Amino acid sequence: MRFSGFRVLKEGLTGNKGWTPHWRDPDPKPEYDVVIIGGGGHGLSTAYYLAKEHGLTNIAVLEKGYIGGGNVGRNTTIVRANYFLDGNSEFYSHSLKLWEGLEQDLNYNVMHSQRGLINLFHSDGQRDAFARRGNAMINQGDDAVLLDRAGVEKILPYLDFDNGRFPIYGGLYHPRGGTARHDAVAWGYARGADQRGVDLLQNCEVTGIDIEGGVVNGVQTTRGAIRARKVAMVVAGRSSQVAAMAGMRVPVESHVLQAFVTEGLKPVIDHVISFGMGHFYISQSDKGGLVFGGDIDMYASYAARGNLPIVEHVMEAGMTLMPMIGKAKVLRSWGGIMDMTPDGSPVIDKTHIDGLYLNCGWNYGGFKAVPASGNCFAHLIAQDRYHPEATGFQLDRFRTGYGVIDEEGTGAQHNLH
C-alpha cells in the first residue's frame, strides 16, 4: 500500500475501506540472521536500513511492549544538527540530511517541519561560545546565523528580553532545525522494515542472551527461544539491564526526563526555542499544544514518570522566558527513561562477544539521531566496519579515556549531560 494525494482522495470518496494495517503481526521464527532487541526509533531504523541498504531481510525486531511505546513516542520532537565537536557534528549532520529525504524514502508523512531552532544567549561569554558553535556548524556544511537582540526580537517578540537575571542578548539561529511527529517516525520505519520482510514482534521481551564460547547464538524471550547469527541491543533506557544479560557492565545510567503539553492554542510559537539559562525548550505542535521540557530529574530511575521539583523548575523557566505562557493550561505530562553516558555522547559499536552489537547512550537527544543511528548501526552490523560518519562512538573510549566526546564540557558525570 503506497500513500499519495490521489490515494487519500480516493479513500475519502470511497468510505476509507482500502487502508490495510501498516505492518504484519507474525509469529516468531525459530531462527533469524539478525535479531534486534528493542522496537524504538533506533531499533526500527536499524532494521529498515539493514533491509534496504544491505539486503538482509531475515531479521526480527523484538519489542517487549508495543512499537512506539518507549522514548521514541515520548520526546519533545526536536530535530537539529547544531553539534560542535568532531565525532558528533558529522554524525548529526548526516542525520539531518537523512531527515530531509525521509518522507519520500519511507513514503510516510513524518511531519518533518524545518521551522528553525533558536538557542538564546544571555551574556557576552555565551555569545562567544555560540559564535564558535555556529562557525563549527557552518564548517561542517550546516547552517547557522548569529542573531543580535534586535534580530531575535523581530522573530520572537513575545519573549521577556529585559528579565533582570537573564536578559536576552541574542540567539544562534539554525534554520534547518525543527520538529517531526515522533510516533509517525516509529510507524514509518516499522512499516518500511515490514514491507522489506522484517518481522516486528511486539509483546516479546528478551529475558536472556545465549552466548557460547564467546559467540552469541540467540536470545531467550517471553515468546520462546530464538536463534540468531547476530544480536543487536538497542534498548535505550534499559541498556544496562539488557547488556547485563550478556554479562556486560555498560557506562550508562538511566534517568527520567519529563515533558509537558498544553491545551491546543492558536498558532503562536512558530519556531523551536531553547533557553539555556533556565534549561527550557519549547515548540508548538501542529494540533496547537505547546510542547516543552527541561532538565532530567537528576536521580537514577527506571520509572517512566518524574517528580514535582522538576515540574516546578520547568514551569518557572517557561514563565521567566515568556510570561504569556502562564495563561496556557498544561494538559498532560509524562516521562521517559534516558540512557545517560559519562560524556553525553552515544555508543554504536561491536562488543567483545562475537556477533553481539550495542547501540545506546542517546541521553536526551536521540530522537534527531534516529535516521543516522539506524543507518550507521546497520552498516556496522552488516559489514563489521564502522560507518565513516560514526567512527567516534566506540565503547572503549570510556575505558581508555581517549576519544571521549564531551559536547557539554561537563565532565564525566552522567546526570550533568
**Which residues of the shown chain bind ligand FAD in the complex (CB under 6 A)?**
37-43, 62-65, 69-72, 74-78, 205-206, 234-238, 242, 257-259, 293, 336, 362, 364-368
SS3 at position 42? helix
Looking at the Cβ atoms of 149 and 227, the one nearer to ligand FAD is 227
Q: How far is the CB of 237 from ligand FAD (least distance, A)?
A: 6
Q: How far is the CB of 9 from ligand FAD (least distance, A)?
A: 33
- 394-to-348, 377, 385, 391, 400 alpha-carbon distances in Å: 6, 12, 12, 7, 11
Report the C-alpha gap between 9 and 82 in whole angstroms: 39
Q: How far is the CB of 151 from ligand FAD (least distance, A)?
A: 24
Q: How far is the CB of 162 from ligand FAD (least distance, A)?
A: 28
In single-letter form, the type of residue at position 95 comes to: S
Residue 182, CB-side half-sphere exposure with 13 Å CA sphere: 19
Contact 230, 355 (CB under 8 A): yes
**Position with the least CB separation from ligand FAD:** 40
Looking at the Cβ atoms of 64 and 133, the one nearer to ligand FAD is 64
Looking at the Cβ atoms of 169 and 235, the one nearer to ligand FAD is 235
Report the C-alpha gap between 300 and 308 in whole angstroms: 16
Looking at the Cβ atoms of 258 and 284, the one nearer to ligand FAD is 258
Report the C-alpha gap between 127 and 298 in whole angstroms: 27
Q: How far is the CB of 70 from ligand FAD (least distance, A)?
A: 2
Looking at the Cβ atoms of 43 and 134, the one nearer to ligand FAD is 43
Angle at alpha carbon of residue 208, lines to 207 and 214, rounded to 5°: 165
Query: Cell 538557542, residue?
Result: 119
What are 16's three cell numbers? 476509507
Q: How far is the CB of 236 from ligand FAD (least distance, A)?
A: 3
Report the C-alpha gap between 21 and 10 in whole angstroms: 18
Looking at the Cβ atoms of 121 and 377, the one nearer to ligand FAD is 377
Report the C-alpha gap between 50 and 241 in whole angstroms: 25
Residue 254, CB-side half-sphere exposure with 13 Å CA sphere: 20
Q: How far is the CB of 334 from ligand FAD (least distance, A)?
A: 7
Looking at the Cβ atoms of 166 and 292, the one nearer to ligand FAD is 292
CA dihedral 366→372→375→379, nearest 10 degrees, is -100
- 207-to-46, 62, 87, 361 alpha-carbon distances in Å: 21, 11, 33, 21
Closest to 4 measured CA to CA, from 98, 101, 103, 113: 103
Looking at the Cβ atoms of 180 and 395, the one nearer to ligand FAD is 180
Looking at the Cβ atoms of 69 and 288, the one nearer to ligand FAD is 69
Q: How far is the CB of 50 from ligand FAD (least distance, A)?
A: 15
Q: How far is the CB of 146 from ligand FAD (least distance, A)?
A: 23
Report the C-alpha gap between 381 and 355 in whole angstroms: 8
